[in-house]
Amino acid sequence: MKKIQLMMVGMILLAGVAGSALAQVRETPATISMAEGGNPRGYVQGANDQGVIFSTSSGGRGSLIPYAQIRGEGLNKLVRMDARPEELAEPRALFERGDYSAAAEAFGAVARNYSIILNLPQNFAAEALFYQCESLLRSGKYAQLARVLDSPAAKTIETKLGDYYKKPHEYQKLWAFLGKKDMEGLRSALAAYQQPMISDAKLLPAPNFSDLPSAEVAQLAYLRGKLHEADGKKGNALDDYYRAFTLAYGNNELMSKLAMGAVMVILKADPQLKAENKAAMAEMQSVAYLFSKRFGSEGMPEDIKKFAIRPAVARPVVAEDAEMPVDDAPVAEEEATESEEAKKGDKDKQ
């Protein structure tokens, strides 16, 4: 009986491996626009830095078409892949819904299954690889992000995709330092985004960031906050975390959620909070309450959720015997009314 069970398990595993292998396509239908005219249809079987391996019949022996013979400049070569819309539809839908863990798996599957086209300019396998990395970043799986970015295939994000992907890809690589727990690497990488500490700037606890869009500064501030925490500088870390979730009114939702969570963890460990210091309590309650209102309290740890209440706000008290401020406007109005009545009385007497 045990032998039969083991055989069944082995067959299931073998079927899974076989299915995975079959998912990797050997060719994919496409149309190529030639520089000298014509739009041959056929099958792309591979690509390299020189050109596309193309066959006009399925399963036929492909031949290399140099990029110089294909219409388009630079990376914008007119090679239209039939499978692109269908293959990217489901992963994109998952990404748009915010289901980033599932999106990462789906985009990763597309990149693996269509690895034969990774060296083609502007190919959808490299695009899927980029969005796999972005999904891993947004789902907080930084170690897995680092492994994907260290793979040879990830180099095609830089070399085969256009300028639109370059800036966000730079930031993906910054987050990968967290995944590798390489804080010194992160420190060196962040230096390129900071202004030099000269003149009066030397008095600042940390360098100012370069003039960049707020969404980028929010990421940099959060990452530097993690660096300050690793250095034991909790005050500097709090400054950067607050910066990350207040920049541009906190419109970077991911950074706001991460930074507010990091602030609450630091404040929770503050001895002043344990001593129920009023200022410490008010700060913790303010952040926890704001977090619960914006993101909900379901995922908050119980020892932090209890602080998610509106903090008491001190109101000024006016003494009962205090003199009321003099309001000149009503008096002037009354005098004007009395003057008009007097004039009216004089006319009546006449």
> pLDDT tens-digit profile of 254-281?
999 999 999 999 999 999 999 999 999 9
Residue 145 lies in a domain: yes
Residue 56, domain extent: 28-179
Instruction: Examine the domain organization and report whether 231 and 274 are in the same domain.
Output: yes
- Mark whether 120 and 218 lie in a shared domain: no
Same domain, 147 and 85: yes
Contact between 106 and 90 (Cβ < 8 Å): yes
Instruction: Give the H or E element holding residue 66.
Output: strand 63-66
pLDDT at position 12: 37
pLDDT tens per residue, range 97-119: 999 999 999 999 999 999 999 99
* Same-domain pairing of 50 and 164: yes
Residues 127 and 234 in one domain: no
Pairing of strands 79-81, 51-55: unpaired
CA distance 225 to 238: 7
Answer yes or no: do 60 and 175 share one domain. Answer: yes
Distance CA 249, CA 88 (A): 33
How distant, in Å, are the alpha carbons of 87, 91, 180 from that of 135? 17, 10, 17
Q: pLDDT band at residue 23, thresholds of 50, 70 and 90? A: confident
Residues in Cβ contact with 199 at an 8 Å cutoff, skipping those fewer than 6 apart: none
Do 37 and 174 belong together in one domain?
yes
Indicate whether 192 belongs to any domain.
no
Residue 345 lies in a domain: no
What does the block give as tokens for 314? Answer: 């001190």
- For residue 330, the SS3 value is helix
User: In this structure, are 119 and 220 located in the same domain?
Assistant: no
Is the pLDDT at 70 greater than 90? The verdict is: yes
Contact 27, 54 (CB under 8 A): no
Q: Is residue 19 part of a domain?
A: no
Burial of 169 (0-12, 13-18, 19+ CB in 10 A): middle
Instruction: Band the pLDDT of 203: cuts 50, 70, 90.
Output: low
Name the token pair of 336: 């004007």
Q: How high does pLDDT run on average in the chain? A: 87
Confidence of residue 11 (pLDDT cuts 50, 70, 90): very low
φ, ψ of residue 201 to 5 degrees: the values are -65, -20
Would you say residue 62 lies in a domain? yes
Say if residue 48 is in the same domain as residue 158: yes
Same domain, 56 and 168: yes
pLDDT winner (highest mean) among 147-161, 191-205, 245-259: 147-161
Per the listing, tokens 């209440």 go with 309
Do the domain assignments include residue 327?
A: no
pLDDT at 30: 98
Burial tier of 312 (Cβ tally within 10 Å: 0-12, 13-18, 19+):
exposed
What integer pLDDT is reported at residue 147 of this predicted model? Answer: 98
Single-letter amino acid code for the residue at 293: K
My answer on whether 215 and 171 are in the same domain is no
Q: Which two tokens stand for residue 135?
A: 């999904």
Last residue within a domain, chosen from 179, 200, 227:
179
Give the pLDDT confidence of 278-297 residue by residue, as tens digits: 999 999 999 999 999 999 99
Per-residue pLDDT, averaged over 206-220, amounts to 93
Q: Rounded to an integer, what distance in angstroms lies between the CA atom of residue 55 and that of residue 138?
A: 40
Long-range contacts (CB closer than 8 Å, 24 or more residues apart) made by 72-76: 72/33, 74/121, 75/121, 75/122, 75/160, 75/161, 75/162, 76/121, 76/122, 76/162
**Residue 50 domain-assigned?**
yes
89 plus 164 within the same structural domain:
yes
Domain termination residue (choose one: 155, 179, 203): 179
Q: Which of 179, 196, 230 is the last residue of a domain?
A: 179
Q: How far is CA 185 from the centre of its chain?
A: 20
Looking up tokens 């993906």, which residue turns up? 172
Q: Which residue is it, tokens 């970015």?
A: 149
Terminal Cα distance for the chain, rounded: 128
Domain assignment present for 111: yes
Yes or no: say if 200 and 217 are a contact pair by the CB < 8 Å rule: no
Chain-centroid distance of CA 186 in Å reads 17
pTM of the model: 0.81
Could you give the number of structural domains in the chain?
2
**Residue that is written with structure tokens 């639109």 in the block:** 164
Q: Rounded to an integer, what distance in angstroms lies between the CA atom of residue 166 and that of residue 179?
A: 20
